[in-house]
Amino acid sequence: MSKNILSGITECADRLAADGRHRQAEKLALGAVKKAPRSPHLAKLLEKVLSYCPEPRRAVEAYSGILRLPEICPDHYYHLAMFHKRDGDYAGMRRALERLLAAGAGADFVHRYIACCTLDRFGEAFETAEKLIGSDRREPVLSRLWNPWGDRSTMLPRGFITDRLAGLERARLDKKMEPYRTFFRGVLLFFSGNNKKSAAEFVRLAAMQCLPDARYGWMFFPAGWACLYACDYSRALSMFRRSALSPVSRSASLGRIAEIYICTGRPRQGFLYLKKALATAAFGELAGLHSWEGQMRLFTGDYKAAVKALTTGLSMGDDVAYCWRGAAYSLLGRRAQALRDLDRAVELFPTDAEALVWRAEVLRLEGRNSEALQQLNRAVSAGGHVWARINRALVREALGDSAGMMGDFDALDPEVRKFLRNRPGGANSSVKLMLDEACRLARGNRRDDKYFFPIWMK
C-alpha cells in the first residue's frame, strides 16, 4: 500500500473520529488492516481508533479477527496486550506479549523492550535497549527505556514491581550489561517508593567509568526524577544537566530543568529552557513538548497561552493534552468546551487522577455535585490525595455532608493544611473558605506531586 493511500486512510479515519463517528473510523481501519496486515502504520492507526471504545473488551474482540490472518505486523500483539491491560486482564496481557516475542523480527524495538521487561527477559531487554540508543530513530524512546509501564491507561497490579525486582536479580546478563542491571534496579526501587535505596543505585551507576554521557547520559534521567520527587532541586538539576548530554534524553531533560526553574520561582528562565528544548527536539518529540509548555502556562496562570500550546500538542497527536486544555478552558469560563476535553481525557486514561479531578471540578462548578462526587471517589481510588480530597471536601460540603468534608480536610497532607491555616485570616476561616482559597491560589495546577507545591504554596 503506497504512502499516499496510507495517508489518505489515516486522514479519513481521523476526520470520522473527530466527528464522533467512531464505529465508521473503526470499520475503515479494520478494512485497511485486512488488506495490508503487515503494515506498522495501519497497526498504529487501528490501535488509535480502537482507543475510542469505552470498553477495552470490544477492542480485544476486534483483534481476534486480525490475529487469524496469515501474516500480520507483530505490533498488533503489543496493542492487544495494552487493551488487555486496560481491561485489568494481566494474564491476557502477558500472553499477547509472549506472542509478540515469538513472532520474531518485525516488531517495534520499543514494544519488544517493554515485552521483555514485563516478562523478566532482561538480557533480551537490555540488548534491545542497546539497539534502540544506537539507531537513528527520531521518535522519543526515553520514557519507555526508564519507565516501560508508564502509560496512564491503568494502574499496575499489586506486587508487579516487586516481582520485576526479583526477576531482575535472577537474570543472567553478560558482564557488559551489568550497568543496565544497576540502572534498572534503581528505577524499580524508585517505583516501589524506596527513594533512599534507589538513590544509592544511581550513585553506584555514576561511579562506573564505562558509561560516556553522550551515549548513556539518559540513564541519569530517572536519578534526576527521583531527586525531584524528593524536592532536592539542586541535585535534580545536576542529574538532568548530565542526562541532557545524551541525544536520547536531551529534550526531556531540558523540560525537567525548565520545571525546576518554574517550581523555584524563576519562570522566565524555565520558559527559556522549554524554548531551547523545542528548538532542538526531533519531530517526534515536538507534540509532547508543546503540551509540556501548555501545562506550565496553565500552572502559572497564562490560560490563553496554555490553550494555544496544548491545541498545537493535540494537533500533533499528544492525547495527554486533553486534560490540561480542558482545565484551561474551565479557568477561562468555557465549561462546555472544558467538559468535552475532559470527557475525552477520562475516556483515554480512566485512572488518571488529575483528569478525574479536573472533570469533577468542572461538574462541581456547574452544580452537578452528585456526578462530581462519583468522579472524585474514582480519583481517590486511583491514588489522588491532595486535589481529589480538596474537591471532594467542597462537594461534600455542598451536599450537606460536613463530617465527610472534615474527613477529607483532615486527610490532606499536613504541609497543605498548615499552609492554608497560616494564610492571612486562615486560622479564623471556615474549612470551606480555606479549600476555595487553595483552588484559587493553585490556578491551573492540580498535580499532587510535592515538587509542584512551591508554585502555589508561597
Angle (CA) 421-425-429 rounded to 5° is 70
What is residue 183's predicted lDDT score, i.e. its pLDDT? 96
> Any idea which residue has 506550565 for its cell?
296
Q: List, in order, residues 6 or more apart from 172 with CB less than 8 Å away.
A: 123
Sign of the torsion angle spanned by Cα atoms 77, 79, 85, 87: negative
What's the rounded Cα separation, in Å, for the pair 232 and 213? 22
What's the rounded Cα separation, in Å, for the pair 344 and 333? 19
Q: What is 102-143 written as a DSSP string?
A: HT-TTS-HHHHHHHHHHTT-HHHHHHHHHHHHHS---S--HH
Class of residue 174 by CB neighbours under 10 A (exposed 0-12, middle 13-18, buried 19+): exposed
What is residue 154's predicted lDDT score, i.e. its pLDDT? 60
Return the exposure string of 319-353: e unless at least 16 CB atoms fall within 10 Å of the residue's CB, then b.
Answer: bbbbbbbbbbbbbeebbebbbebbebbbebbbbbb
What's the rounded Cα separation, in Å, for the pair 228 and 230? 5
Run of H or E including 357 = helix 353-365
Q: List, in order, residues 6 or more apart from 147 with CB less than 8 Å away.
A: 187, 191, 222
Same fold, 1-107 and 113-243: yes
Q: Tens place of pLDDT for every residue, the chain, 458 residues?
A: 677 788 888 889 888 887 888 889 888 988 989 988 889 889 999 998 888 877 788 888 889 888 888 889 999 999 999 999 888 899 999 999 999 999 877 888 999 999 999 999 999 999 999 998 888 766 678 888 999 987 655 667 889 999 999 999 999 999 999 999 999 999 999 999 888 899 899 989 988 877 888 899 999 999 998 899 889 999 999 999 999 999 999 999 999 999 999 999 999 999 999 999 999 898 889 999 999 999 999 999 999 999 999 999 999 989 999 999 999 999 999 999 999 999 999 988 888 999 999 999 999 999 999 999 999 999 999 888 899 999 999 999 999 999 999 999 999 999 999 999 988 776 667 999 999 999 999 999 999 999 999 999 98
What's the rounded Cα separation, in Å, for the pair 85 and 94? 9
Please state which of the four CATH numbers 1.25.40, 1.10.3470, 1.20.5, 1.10.4160 is assigned to the domain occupying 113-243. Answer: 1.25.40
Instruction: Please tell me the class of the 1-107 domain.
Output: mainly alpha
Long-range contacts of 204-208, Cβ-Cβ distance < 8 Å, separation of 24 or more: 205/179, 208/179, 208/182
If you compute the radius of gyration of the chain from its CA atoms, what whole number of angstroms results? Answer: 23
What's the rounded Cα separation, in Å, for the pair 309 and 290? 5
What's the rounded Cα separation, in Å, for the pair 37 and 32? 8
Q: Which amino acid is at 58?
A: R
Enumerate the domain spans of the chain: 1-107, 113-243, 350-458
What's the rounded Cα separation, in Å, for the pair 54 and 153? 12
Question: 175: phi > 0 → left, psi -120 to 50 → alpha, else beta; which?
Answer: alpha
Q: Which amino acid is at 115?
A: A
What's the rounded Cα separation, in Å, for the pair 262 and 449? 14
Q: Which amino acid is at 162?
A: T
User: Nine-digit cell at 339?
Assistant: 467538559
